[in-house]
Amino acid sequence: MKILIFLLTIANALALPSFEEACDVLGSRETNRREVLTNEIWSAGREAIPLLQKLAEEENPEVFRRALFVLQRIRMGLKPDSSAELLKLAEAVNLATPEFRASRLAELLDYSQGIKVALVFLDGWAADPRMPPEQVFKLSELVTKVVLERRSSWKIFLSTDLSSRCRGALIAALSWQDHPIKLQMITNLASKQTKEVYEMAITCPDRIASEAYLAMARIATVHGDVPLALHILSSGLQQDSSHNFARAIAFLEAGSGLPAIKYNGNWIHELNLFRARAHKDFKGVLRLASKPDLDPILAYESNLVSGSLTLPSTEGSVEIPAGSALASLHRSFGNPPGEPDIEALTSSVLIDWSELARTLMNLACPSEAAEKLSSENQVITATSLLWRTNHRDKALSLSREVLNDPANSLQTRMRLTLASLYFQSGDRKKAREFFKDVIRIGIQQDTRLQSALKLGLNFFSREELLQLVPGLTEKQAYQRAPSIVGLLPYQSKVSTYWYEFFREKDPSQSPLTIFKKVQYFLTNQREQAEAIIAEQLAITKKLLLPTDVIYQQALFLKVPSALKMTKAAAWYQLSIDDLFSIARDSSWDREARKEALTTALLIDPSNVVLHWLNMKLNQVELPVPAHLPTLGDPGLALQLVAHTRRLETIALISELVDLRDHRGLRCLTILGNAHLKNGQPGRAVRFLQAAICGEIATGPQPATPIESSLDNLARYFKARKLISNSSDEKEIWTDRLIRIGRD
C-alpha cells in the first residue's frame, strides 16, 4: 500500500495543470506558488510544450514571460536542476548567429553534461526549413565525433527522442566513421520512421557509405517493409563499387516473392545474373556468366553453383587467381576423372604456397602438400596433415627434424601437436610421453600454457599435472594466472578470482588444496559465493564494464543485481553476447531473460538471432520469414542456423554465395553435407564441388582448417562414387577415398 501511495503521489506531482489553473497561478502575486508550478511544468519536459505554447499567447505579461522562459529551456534540453554552467553554455548556443553555431556547439559538447542538450539543439535545427541542409549535416558531424569519442554518452545518444530528420542527418555523419559499433548506431537511429530517416540521410551533400544503406535496408526488413528495403538497396546499388547490393536485392526478391524492381543502371547485368541464380535457372546463369566483360570470379562462381566446371575467360590482362591449379583440378574432377597434374601445379606462378598446398591436398595428394608446407616453414601443419591422411610414419619422420633441434617454441608446439594427435588416436601412453617432455622443456616460457594444460587434463590427473607446473608457486598473481586458468573448468577471470580468494586466507596451502576448495565452493556453496560478490557490487562506485572481474563473477553466479549491472554496462560496451547468454539460459529467471533480450534489441534492433530468440521466448512472430533480415549475409545466416537448426536459412544464400567469403563457402559445405546425409548425392556434388573449387580459386581461406577441407573432399568423393555410372569410375573414386584414409 505504501508503494501504491508513493506512486500516486509521484504521478500527481508530475501531472500537468489545466490551462485555467496555470494562468491563475502563474499570474498571481504569490511568488512561491508561481515558482513551484513553473518548476512542475518545466519538469514535465516536452509533454508540456502544447500547454506552454498556449500560455505564451496570454495577455498577462507575467504568464507569457514565464511560459516563454520555460518553453525556450525545454527546447534547449534543460531541466530545472541543470547546472549554472550548462545554462550559460546553452544560452550561448541559442543566441549564436548561424556562422557561430558550430563554435558555440563545440563549447557545449566539451561540457560533460552537454551531449543531450546539443542533440536537442540539433533536432530543432534539423526541423527548421530555413536551415540550409549542408549546415545541419556539418553540425551533425561535430556531434557524432564527440559522441564516439566519449563512451559515457552512447546511451544518451541512442535513447534520446529525436525527429526523423535529425536521425537521418546523424546517420549521414556516422556512415563514414571508422567505429566498431557504427552499424548498430545507424540501425538504432533508423529503427523508427525508417523511410523518413532514409530520405533525410540521402539528401546529404556528401555520398553516404554503402554500409549505411545495408543497415537501413535491414531494419526495414525486420519491420516487414521489404519494398522499402528493396528501394533503399536499389538506391545504394547506383553508388556501389561492387556487386554486393545486387546479391542482396536478388536474395530479397526471391525470398519474399515480390516482383523484380525496376532498375537499368550499371549493375543490371550482374543483378539479372543473381536473379537467375536465386531461381536456379542454370541455363540462364551459364548464358549470362559467359559475357566477356563480367568479373572473372563472379563468372566462375556462377558456373560452379550451376554445376559447371568451365573456367571463365581470361582475355586481356585479367587473371583468375590459381588459374592453372583450377585447370588441373577440373581435369581430376572430370568424368571419368583424370589424375592430378602435379607438375603443372608445382610450376604454377599464379598461386602462393598456401593455395598450392591446399590445392594439392584437395586433389588427394597429401604427401606433395606436406612437402610444400614444410618447405615454407609450416612443418607443424604438414605433420598434422600427414597424420590425418593416414601417413603416420611420414608425419613422425617429419616431426623428428623439429624434435632433434635445440629446445625452442617450435619444438614445444610440435610436442603439443603430437600429444594431441596421439590422444585423438587413442594412445594415451604416447600422449603422456610427449606432454611430459613439453612441460619440462619449455612450456613455462610459452604462451600456450593454458591450452596445453587443458589438453593435459585429458590424459593426466590434476595431481600429476601440478607436479609439472611450478608457476603456481610464484609470488606474483599474474605469474600464477596461466596455470590456474588451465587447471580449472571456469571462465578465466572466475578461476583466478576464487583461487586467489582462498590463497589469501592461507598462502602456505598447497595448490591442490586450493583447487579442491574452489571447485567445492562453486559447486556446493554458490549462495555464499553470490553473497560475497553482491557485497563487492554494493561497494563498487565505478560503472562496471564487461571486462571487469566483478562483472564476470556476477554473471557466472547469476547474482540478482547482475542484470541491472549488465544493462548499464551494455550501453557502453555493447555486450550483446552477455545479454544474449542471459536471454537463452533457462536457469535465469524468465522475466530476467526477457529483460536482457529487450535491452539487447534496443542496442542492436536488426540482429536476426536476437529476433529469433524473441520469437521463441515471447511467442511473437516477425513480419517476415526469419532468414530475410540477413539480406543474404552468410555470416548472419550461419548464426541463425546454429540456433534454429533449420537448413532453409542457408538454402537460398548458397545459390547466391560469394566465393571470396569463407562463411559463404561454409554455407555451401553445410548444405552439401546435408544433401549427402539425406540420400541426395547429386545435389551434394554440386555444392561440395563449388566449395572446394571456390576455396582454391579465391586464395587461402584462413578460417577453413586443412582437416575440414579434407573432410569436405572425402564427402565429395563419396557423393561422386554414389552417382557413378560405371564400375571403373566407381573404383577411381573409391581409390581416392582410400588414399586420404576415409574409406
- The CA-based dihedral angle spanning residues 655, 660, 662, 665, taken in that order and rounded to the nearest 10 degrees: 30
Task: Please write the tens of the pLDDT for every residue from 597-619.
Answer: 999 999 899 999 999 999 999 99
> Which pTM was predicted?
0.84
pLDDT the model gives residue 9: 35
Nearest to 271 by CA among 247, 299, 289, 255: 247
Least confident window among 336-350, 472-486, 685-699, 710-724: 336-350
Among left, alpha and beta (phi > 0; psi -120 to 50; other), residue 377 is: left
Confidence of residue 3 (pLDDT cuts 50, 70, 90): very low
Contacts of 356 (CB under 8 A, 6+ apart): 325, 345, 346, 348, 372
pLDDT the model gives residue 583: 93
Task: Please write the tens of the pLDDT for every residue from 165-224.
Answer: 999 999 999 999 888 889 999 999 999 999 999 999 999 888 899 999 999 999 999 999
pLDDT at residue 329 is higher than 70: yes
pLDDT at residue 6 is higher than 60: no
Task: Please write the tens of the pLDDT for every residue from 109-142.
Answer: 888 888 888 898 898 888 888 888 889 999 999 9
| Of residues 636 and 325, more confidently modeled | 636
The C-alpha atoms of residue 345 and residue 27 are separated, in whole angstroms, by: 94
Task: Please write the tens of the pLDDT for every residue from 49-62.
Answer: 787 777 777 777 77
CB-count exposure of residue 3 (10 Å: 0-12, 13-18, 19+)? exposed
pLDDT the model gives residue 352: 67
The domain segmentation of the chain, as residue ranges, is 2-75, 525-607
User: What is the average pLDDT across 222-237?
Assistant: 95
Least confident window among 399-408, 521-530, 732-741: 399-408
pLDDT the model gives residue 386: 92
The C-alpha atoms of residue 540 and residue 548 are separated, in whole angstroms, by: 11
pLDDT at residue 541 is higher than 80: no
pLDDT the model gives residue 1: 36
The C-alpha atoms of residue 743 and residue 723 are separated, in whole angstroms, by: 16
The C-alpha atoms of residue 525 and residue 512 are separated, in whole angstroms, by: 19
Measured in whole angstroms, how far is the alpha carbon of residue 110 from the centre of its chain?
A: 32
pLDDT the model gives residue 663: 92
* 3-class secondary structure per residue, 429-481: HHHHHHHHHHHHHCHHHCCCHHHHHHHHCCCCCHHHHHCCCHHHHCCCHHHHH
Confidence of residue 444 (pLDDT cuts 50, 70, 90): low
pLDDT the model gives residue 152: 78
Amino acid at 167: R
| Of residues 347 and 317, more confidently modeled | 347
User: What is the average pLDDT across 679-704?
Assistant: 85
Confidence of residue 439 (pLDDT cuts 50, 70, 90): low
Cβ atoms of 105 and 95 within 8 Å: the answer is: no
Least confident window among 306-310, 321-325, 397-401: 321-325
pLDDT the model gives residue 268: 93
pLDDT the model gives residue 349: 52
**What Rg do the C-alpha atoms of the chain give, in angstroms?**
32
Confidence of residue 701 (pLDDT cuts 50, 70, 90): low
Confidence of residue 407 (pLDDT cuts 50, 70, 90): low
For the chain, what is the mean pLDDT? 85
The C-alpha atoms of residue 105 and residue 87 are separated, in whole angstroms, by: 13
DSSP code of residue 241: S
Confidence of residue 297 (pLDDT cuts 50, 70, 90): confident
Give the helix ranges, DSSP H, for 175-295.
Answer: 182-189, 194-201, 210-222, 226-239, 244-256, 268-278, 282-289
Task: Please write the tens of the pLDDT for every residue from 27-45.
Answer: 777 777 877 777 777 777 6
pLDDT the model gives residue 40: 78
Q: Express as a percent the part of the chain with pLDDT over 90.
A: 42
The C-alpha atoms of residue 387 and residue 397 are separated, in whole angstroms, by: 11
The C-alpha atoms of residue 99 and residue 671 are separated, in whole angstroms, by: 60
Where do we find the cell 541543470?
82
